[in-house]
Every structure is written in C-alpha cells, then in structure tokens.
C-alpha cells in the first residue's frame, strides 16, 4: 500500500498557487477588511492559528498589527520564511494546536482560524471541545475569535472535488482536489490534493506532488454548542464574494 504524506507537508510549496486558484486576492482582501473591522486598535494582538503560508499574516503585519502565528507544518513555515527577510521579528510557533506542551504564553485580542483550519485541527468531538477550551484560554479580556468555514447548509462536502489550472511565468500549474471518502455521520472527509507543473513551451512535466487531507466538516450547530460551553456568543458575518461563514465569538 502506498503511504501518502499530509498535503500540508508535501504540497506546501504549492499552497500559494492553491489559494490563488480557490480563494483569489479579492476574497483575501475582503477577509482582511473584515478582520480589521473587528479590531481597530493597531496595538491589539492577533493570533493566526493554522496560518498556512501567511495569507492573512503578512497583510495584517503590513497594516501595522502585532500578529503571531501557529502552524503545525514546518514546510508551510518555511514558505513563510522564504517570503520575508524579517522572519526573526515574527513569532511563528511550529506547534500542533491540540498538543499538550502549550508554547504560547501571551493572550490575544483576536484569534483567527481561516479557511476551514478548524476542520483540520479537530477531527472528533472531544478535540473540538479541547480546541475551544484552548482558544478561550488564549483570549485577552474582551477578546474575540474569528472562525471561517464553509457552510454545510449550502455545500455538499462529497461534491467538492475540482481541477483548477493556472498559467504563470511560462508554466502551467494544475491542482486536482479529489474526494476519496465522505462519511455523512461523522462528517469526516478524506481527500487527495495533487499538483503538476508543466513547462508551456516544451510540455514537459517539471514537477508533481500529492498529499492527503483529513477534515471534519463541523457545522454552525457544532460550533454553537462549543461556544455555549465556554460562555461566548456567536454573530455570523459574511463577505460579498462567497457564501462561507465568518463566525465571530465574543
């Protein structure tokens, strides 16, 4: 049997291509505006959990916020490193969020978990409860949490497979997201994410890469239950460019 690595490791070098294809710059900039509207004081501290390659981290730092990040994949962190010569000024914790050795000592005015990050961090109910307890423990007095997820009420996870193509600098990047299995009961989705890079002139395949992704597609009701448990209320926000949920807990 072929053992397939986590896509967050093997495909980290293609993550910027992935989000440019799936999200696009306009969605990211609407998300940044939403985050900024939640936290106007630039001295406030933000924590980006499951930060990927810094899709929100860099724009927020450039806007003047103090932002720290947590990311489980060292390969994603290496991509963050590659993009800046000020990496030493940014606190990026290479930590799997539910692991016991709590590395983060600060408290934050806003914690963001964007693009279904919670689907990857918590796979079973016990982990979801632990995730919310931990988030609460990292919040400063009056702090907020922003959770961005796809909305199970208007999307069928089993049908999320897609092939997306981008041509850039003489190369064709093909991204293939294939659903391998979706369990309606547990909401666990198993998928395979593959990339190939082809030289447009010679049509030669320059690189291929693939990895697996496991997500549990938590719904608004699951998150409501956890928010009640830690004594936070939820308001549902949106952006105009998609139908995803942007849940603000306070």
Interface with ligand SAM (CB under 6 A): 8, 19, 50-52, 55, 70-73, 76, 96-98, 114-117, 120-121
DSSP structure class, residue 232: -
Give the whole-angstrom CA distance, residue 163 versus residue 196. 11
CB of 54 vs ligand SAM, minimal distance in Å: 8
Does the CA dihedral 71-108-35-150 come out positive or negative? positive
Nearer to ligand SAM, 27 or 197 (CB): 27
- 47 sits in which H/E element: strand 45-49
Nearer to ligand SAM, 146 or 227 (CB): 146
Nearer to ligand SAM, 122 or 197 (CB): 122
CB of 202 vs ligand SAM, minimal distance in Å: 32
Give the whole-angstrom CA distance, residue 224 versus residue 23. 26
DSSP structure class, residue 127: H
CB of 170 vs ligand SAM, minimal distance in Å: 26
Nearer to ligand SAM, 131 or 197 (CB): 131
Nearer to ligand SAM, 6 or 196 (CB): 6
CB of 116 vs ligand SAM, minimal distance in Å: 5
Q: Is 1 exposed, middle or buried (0-12, 13-18, 19+ CB in 10 A)?
A: exposed
Nearer to ligand SAM, 54 or 198 (CB): 54
Strand-pair category, 139-149 with 108-113? parallel
Q: Helix, strand or coil for residue 189? A: strand
CB of 31 vs ligand SAM, minimal distance in Å: 8
Give the whole-angstrom CA distance, residue 220 versus residue 238. 14
Do residues 7 and 211 make contact, with C-beta atoms less than 8 angstroms apart?
Answer: yes
Give the whole-angstrom CA distance, residue 227 versus residue 240. 25
Nearer to ligand SAM, 19 or 230 (CB): 19
User: What length does the chain have?
Assistant: 250
CB of 100 vs ligand SAM, minimal distance in Å: 12
CB of 47 vs ligand SAM, minimal distance in Å: 11
Closest CA to 51 of 23, 72, 65, 30: 72
Give the whole-angstrom CA distance, residue 45 versus residue 165. 37
């Amino acid at each position: 049997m072929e053992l397939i690595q986590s896509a967050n490791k093997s495909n980290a070098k293609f993550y910027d291509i992935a989000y440019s294809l799936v999200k696009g710059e306009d969605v990211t900039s609407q998300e940044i505006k939403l985050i900024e509207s939640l936290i106007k004081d630039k001295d406030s501290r933000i924590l980006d959990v499951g930060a990927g390659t810094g899709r929100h981290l860099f724009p927020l730092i450039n806007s003047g916020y103090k932002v720290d990040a947590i990311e489980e994949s060292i390969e994603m962190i290496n991509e963050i490193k590659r993009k800046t010569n000020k990496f030493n000024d940014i606190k990026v914790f290479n930590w799997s969020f539910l692991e016991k050795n709590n590395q983060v000592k600060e408290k934050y005015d806003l914690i963001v978990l964007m693009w279904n990050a919670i689907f990857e961090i918590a796979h079973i109910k016990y982990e979801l409860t632990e995730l919310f307890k931990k988030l609460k423990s990292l919040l400063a007095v009056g702090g907020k949490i922003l959770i961005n997820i796809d909305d199970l009420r208007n999307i069928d996870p089993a049908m999320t497979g897609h092939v997306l193509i981008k041509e850039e600098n003489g190369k064709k990047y093909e991204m293939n997201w294939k659903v391998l299995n979706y369990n309606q009961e547990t909401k666990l989705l198993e998928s395979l994410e593959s990339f190939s890079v082809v030289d447009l002139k010679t049509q030669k395949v320059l690189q291929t890469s693939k990895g697996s992704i496991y997500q549990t597609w938590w719904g608004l009701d699951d998150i409501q239950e956890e928010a009640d448990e830690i004594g936070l209320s939820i308001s549902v926000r949106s952006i105009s460019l998609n139908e995803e949920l942007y849940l603000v807990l306070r």
